[in-house]
Structure formats: C-alpha cells, structure tokens
C-alpha cells in the first residue's frame, strides 16, 4: 500500500477530530454567549456611566508634559482599561502603562466606531467623544474584560482538549507503528545520503526503494542537488558583480573626494584667498557633494531594483497635465550652459504608471542629455502619442527606425546634438556603470542613470532605446502603453 493512502487515512482521522471538537466548543460557547450577552451589555453601560463625570472633564484632554492622571488611574482595575486621546490623535494616557510617553494615533482609526459598543472574545469596549461648545476636545476609550465569559471558555476548552488529546494519542501511536516500516526506514537512508552531500560528497549511493513516493523523493533530491550547484554558481557571479560595483563606485568617488579635500584644506588654511576665490571654492565643494549624493542615490535605487525591494505604485494619470509637470524644471540647467531647450508636451491620452519613478526616468535621461551637450547647443524634449506624427526636429537618420519602434504606444523623446556615443558602446549603454569615455569627469553620473531608467521602464511594461550618430547627436526614447492597462 502506498504511503499516501496511509497518510490520507491518518490525516482524515486527525483532521476530523478538531472539526468535531471545534463544533462542540462552538455550540457550547454560543450558548454561553447568549446567556451572558444581555447581562454583560448592561453591566458595561452602567460601568461607563459611572465613569462619565470624570472622563468627560475637558481639562483631562489638555496636554501637559509630566501630568499625573492618578484620578483616572484610580477608576480602573485589573479588569478595566482606560485610554485618553486628544481630538487630533495624541494618545495622552493609558491606565495599564503608567508613565508612557504620549504618541500619535491614526485619526481615522481613532474616530472610527465612536459610541459603538464593541464586543470581542475577551473584552467589551466603547469610545466616546468629549465636547466643549459643540467641538470635540478629546476621546476616551473604556475596555472591560469579560471575566465570566473567559472563565467559561477556559473550562469548556480544557475539557475538550483533554478528551481530544486522548483520542489523538491513540491515533498517533497506531499511525506511527503502521508508517515506520514503509516510511521511516527508507527516509533515514535518504537522509544519510543528503548529509553526505551536504559535507561535500557528491557520490550518491543507491538506495533500495519501491516504485512509490520515496523513489520520487530520491529523484527530487537529485534535482535539488543540481539546483544547489547552479545556485552556488549564481552566488559566485553575484559576488563578482558586487566587487565590480564597489570597484566602480570607489573609482568614481575618488576624484570628487580629492577635489573636496584639496579645496577644503585651501579654505581652512589659506588666509590670503580673495572673496571671489572663496565663493568659487564653496561652489565647487557644493557641486561635488551634490554629485556624490546623486551617485549614492542612484546606487541605492539600483540595488533596490536588483533585489526586488522597490514596489511600484501604479496610478491612472491624465497625459496632458502629467507631461507638462514632467517636462518642467529643466530650463535652469539649460540656461547655465546657454543651451536652447525645445519642449513639446501636447497629449490627450491616459496612462497607468508610477508617476514618481517616471520623474526619475526623465530626470536621468534629460540630465544626461544636458551634461553631454556643449555650450550653446540644443536639447529637444517631447512626448508623442501613437496617432501624432514625429516632430520635424528628429534627426533624419533616426526617423524610419523610430517609427517602427514606437508602433502602438506613446514615446517620450530626449534628443541632443553634439558628440555621438561610440558605436562599440551603444549596446552596453544601459548596463550599470557604463559611460562613454568622454563622459568621465563631467560629474552628475555614476553610470547608473540609463540602467535605472531601463529597469523602471520595464517594470511599467515599457521599453527604452538609444540612437546616436556622429554629425548629429543622440536620441533616447521611452515607450509607454496607452490607455488604462499596465
């Protein structure tokens, strides 16, 4: 007989026992609850009424640091809990936690179920508001333990547990005797082989077994062995990746740290600096610190994306308002380099995206475009739905491929003139810590911006691509699905 049939039979018996027990307990407790319900209701209401004169005193709900609520504490006992809240959610006092520092309670939860007598397994509780001139100044909550009910539940539960335990023990001993021969012995042999594998012995000795679940288990063990070996290889690869990240980050931080050290020492030790030089040094220090902060922020985001810790918050947005907001704020950075910025943001579609992460995507892409555009150059930024024609300013050599690529969706285009990305680097520009050689030292990037943008677009069922050609410049396009579906 196969193991599963023995298990099915034993499971049936063991599962049937608690069902019968819970049913008996339920019937018993329901009867007890009906007997005690009305009586406890009136007892609770009378208890609260006796406390009203003191608890509805408005002065109790004025927060004073170190205030002694002994007059409230004297009303409570081991079976009663009193909590006081200010109307804005400040938790002032709890009788069972003397000396507790005030803290804020969620206002929505606080005002929920006011003047409603709530009953659960162990307590009755009620929250009431305190008014002054028809304005709520505080809320008190009184909870009273259902002692008679709890005692009745305990008595019935112990009796049921005792009877159930006896029956369960009998079934347990019988099942152990029946399953030991068919299950325990072959599994012990398998465990010995697993221990040997864990100690580094990859040779598996054949175990006698029938055509049953144990044979299937041995098969699964072999599959597990392969998975462990694959996982070990993956861990080694991830370790190499981490070492690469540390090395790249150390390399990119070395230059700004050196600059910060030199200029800080100059400001601290050189008393002959002019006001212009001091102002210039401070500006450089500020820029380098901002650069380092951006690098660390990018690294944090990239790490979260790789470990699936980042949760996407999808919302439905109106394209016209969203893209006007998304494209704003780049004028100042362009003015500093005298760059001419062209923006087109006409859009009447709706989208389901994570708006916060879309801001990060566009900031990264436009930041790259501005950083790699020479003084008095041009940057173009626009969004175009599937039924809108491409703008005239798209570089001619990109138009045909871009038309095919954008089929069925909205594209966000960032284009700048200037030096092109080297041909051999185009395919790797969306990999982490990859920068064009001429980009090193320009600041503002650790080589993670495009990698982060790619990850975020893919998490929103979108895509991203780069085109670049010498004599024209570079274009980066993001594709989004139109409508309400992600």
pLDDT at 276 over 50: yes
pLDDT at 85 over 50: yes
For residue 84, what are the β-bridge partners?
A: 93, 140
For residue 341, what are the β-bridge partners?
A: 379
Lowest mean pLDDT among 138-147, 283-292, 391-400: 283-292
- CB neighbour class for 186 (10 Å; exposed up to 12, middle 13-18, buried from 19): buried
pLDDT given for residue 444 in this prediction = 47
Residue 390 carries which DSSP code?
P
pLDDT at 271 over 70: no
Cα dist from 193 to 200, 216, 219, 270, 304, whole Å: 11, 15, 13, 73, 39
CATH topology of domain 3-150: Beta-Lactamase (3.30.450)
pLDDT given for residue 165 in this prediction = 79
Give the model confidence (pLDDT) of 191-230 as tens digits: 877 777 777 766 656 666 666 677 777 777 777 777 777 7
pLDDT given for residue 308 in this prediction = 62
What is the pLDDT averaged over residues 388-417?
92
Long-range contacts of 74-83 (CB under 8 A, 24+ apart): 75/51, 78/145, 79/144, 79/145, 79/147, 80/47, 80/142, 80/143, 80/144, 80/145, 81/123, 81/142, 81/143, 81/144, 82/51, 82/55, 82/140, 82/141, 82/142, 82/143, 83/140, 83/141, 83/143
Phi, psi at residue 434, to the nearest 5°?
A: -100, 125
Does 304 or 139 have the greater pLDDT score?
A: 139
At 1, is the pLDDT very low, low, confident or very high (cuts 50, 70, 90)?
low
The correct answer on CATH 2.60.120 for the domain covering 214-293 is: no
Chain centre to alpha carbon of residue 132: 43
Cα dist from 330 to 149, 296, 326, 390, 394, whole Å: 68, 22, 10, 22, 20
How far apart (Å, rounded) are the C-alpha atoms in residues 182 and 120? 47
- pTM of the full structure: 0.48
Helix or strand or coil: residue 263? helix
Give the model confidence (pLDDT) of 46-60 as tens digits: 888 888 888 888 888
Average per-residue pLDDT in the chain?
80
How far apart (Å, rounded) are the C-alpha atoms in residues 298 and 447? 9
Tokens of 143: 């909870």
Going by C-alpha positions, the residue among 43, 96, 88 that lies closest to residue 72 is 96
Give the model confidence (pLDDT) of 17-34 as tens digits: 777 767 776 777 677 667
Half-sphere exposure of 277 (CA within 13 A, CB side): 10
Going by C-alpha positions, the residue among 16, 4, 2, 5 that lies closest to residue 171 is 16
pLDDT given for residue 208 in this prediction = 63
- Is the separation of the CB atoms in 160 and 153 below 8 Å? no
Phi, psi at residue 383, to the nearest 5°?
A: -125, 135
How far apart (Å, rounded) are the C-alpha atoms in residues 398 and 379? 16
Kindly list the domain boundaries of the chain, sorted by start residue: 3-150, 214-293, 313-481
At 438, is the pLDDT very low, low, confident or very high (cuts 50, 70, 90)?
very low
pLDDT given for residue 69 in this prediction = 83
pLDDT given for residue 44 in this prediction = 79
The per-residue DSSP string of 274-334 comes to -HHHHHHHHHHHHHHHHHHHHHHHHHHHHHHHHTT-PPP--EEEEHHHHHHHHTTT-HHHH
Chain centre to alpha carbon of residue 482: 26
Tokens of 461: 């069922």
What is the pLDDT averaged over residues 184-191?
76
How far apart (Å, rounded) are the C-alpha atoms in residues 255 and 193? 55
Domain 313-481: give its CATH architecture.
2-Layer Sandwich (3.30)
- Is the separation of the CB atoms in 433 and 448 below 8 Å? yes
How far apart (Å, rounded) are the C-alpha atoms in residues 126 and 377? 69
pLDDT at 111 over 70: yes
At 351, is the pLDDT very low, low, confident or very high (cuts 50, 70, 90)?
very high
Lowest mean pLDDT among 38-47, 181-190, 260-269, 436-445: 436-445
pLDDT given for residue 437 in this prediction = 47
Strands of 88-201 (E only): list them: 90-94, 103-104, 118-119, 123-132, 135-145
């Amino acid at each position: 007989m196969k193991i599963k049939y023995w298990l099915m039979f034993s499971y049936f018996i063991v599962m049937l026992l608690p069902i019968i027990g819970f049913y008996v307990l339920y019937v018993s407790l329901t009867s007890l609850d009906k007997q005690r319900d009305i009586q406890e209701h009136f007892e609770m209401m009378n208890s609260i009424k006796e406390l009203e004169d003191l608890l509805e005193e408005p002065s109790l709900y004025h927060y004073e640091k170190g205030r002694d609520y002994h007059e409230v504490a004297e009303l409570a006992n081991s079976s009663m809990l009193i909590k006081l809240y200010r109307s804005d959610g400040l938790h002032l006092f709890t009788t069972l936690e003397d000396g507790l520092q005030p803290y804020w309670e969620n206002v929505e939860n606080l005002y929920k179920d006011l003047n409603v007598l709530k009953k659960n397994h162990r307590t009755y509780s009620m929250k009431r508001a305190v008014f002054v001139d028809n304005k709520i100044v505080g809320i008190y909550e009184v909870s009273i333990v259902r002692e008679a009910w709890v005692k009745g539940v305990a008595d019935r539960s112990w009796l049921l547990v005792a009877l159930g335990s006896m029956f369960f023990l009998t079934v347990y001993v019988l099942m152990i005797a029946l399953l030991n021969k068919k299950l325990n012995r072959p599994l012990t042999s398998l465990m010995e082989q697993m221990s040997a594998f864990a100690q580094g012995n990859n040779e598996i000795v054949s175990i006698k077994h029938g055509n049953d679940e144990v044979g299937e288990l041995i098969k699964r063990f072999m599959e597990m062995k392969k998975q462990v070996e694959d996982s070990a290889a993956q861990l080694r690869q991830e370790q190499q990746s981490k070492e690469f990240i540390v090395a790249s980050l150390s390399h990119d931080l070395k230059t700004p740290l050196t600059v910060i050290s030199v200029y800080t020492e100059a400001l601290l030790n050189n008393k002959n600096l002019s006001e212009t030089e001091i102002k210039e040094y401070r500006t450089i220090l500020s820029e380098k610190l901002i650069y380092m902060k951006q690098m660390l922020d990018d690294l944090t985001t990239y790490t979260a994306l790789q470990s699936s810790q980042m949760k996407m918050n999808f919302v439905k947005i109106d394209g016209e308002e969203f893209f006007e907001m998304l494209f704003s704020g780049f004028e100042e950075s362009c003015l500093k380099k005298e760059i001419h910025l062209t923006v087109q943001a006409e859009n009447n579609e709706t989208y389901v995206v994570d708006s916060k992460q879309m801001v990060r995507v566009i900031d990264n892409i436009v930041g790259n475009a501005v950083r790699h555009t020479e003084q008095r150059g041009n940057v173009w930024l626009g969004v175009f739905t599937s039924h809108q024609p491409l703008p005239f300013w798209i570089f001619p050599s990109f138009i045909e491929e871009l038309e095919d690529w954008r089929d069925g969706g909205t594209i966000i285009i960032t284009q700048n003139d200037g030096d092109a990305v080297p041909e051999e680097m185009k395919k790797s520009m969306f990999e982490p810590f990859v920068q064009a050689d001429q980009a090193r030292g320009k600041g503002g990037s650790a080589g993670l911006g495009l990698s982060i943008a790619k990850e975020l677009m893919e998490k929103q069922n979108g895509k991203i691509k780069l085109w670049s050609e010498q004599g024209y410049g570079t274009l980066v396009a993001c594709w989004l699905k139109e409508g309400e579906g992600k």
